[in-house]
Structure 1
């Protein structure tokens, strides 16, 4: 069980160690995932399925529904998620 998945590096390290020890890993459970493309790609490459209780899209939708953020800010937040290194989402 992972608390947070961003790039999936730490959970894949654990999965690989478990597999080397002979365990059959059915997937990874996490409390939250950002759904970053790098993490999704790494999980797919390692043949690991993630089951999360919540995710970035759900938090954005709830925050907008509760007036914590403006609905138009969701696109900017998703642009950040798509490429956190590209700071154009700040515009």
Structure 2
């Protein structure tokens, strides 16, 4: 398949045709995991996020980006730390 890189805001985007979305069993709002190789990009379907949690995740990612976090590893480490802190703050039953 051939994909065209288009301008999108201050960045760039690749449009995924319906056939690609179907092949990935992906829906709008789903996460794709990308791996960079030698002059290549491999995309795989990521974990499916329930629709009621997508807005919260989008807000969290936007916050992380505004704090200068640029890699998935940084964002996931931050998220894991936040989850651990929330568990510590919860009273024991």
Shorter-chain TM-score range = under 0.3
Larger Rg: 2
Higher relative contact order (CA 8 A, sep 6+): 1
Structure 2 length-normalised TM = 0.23
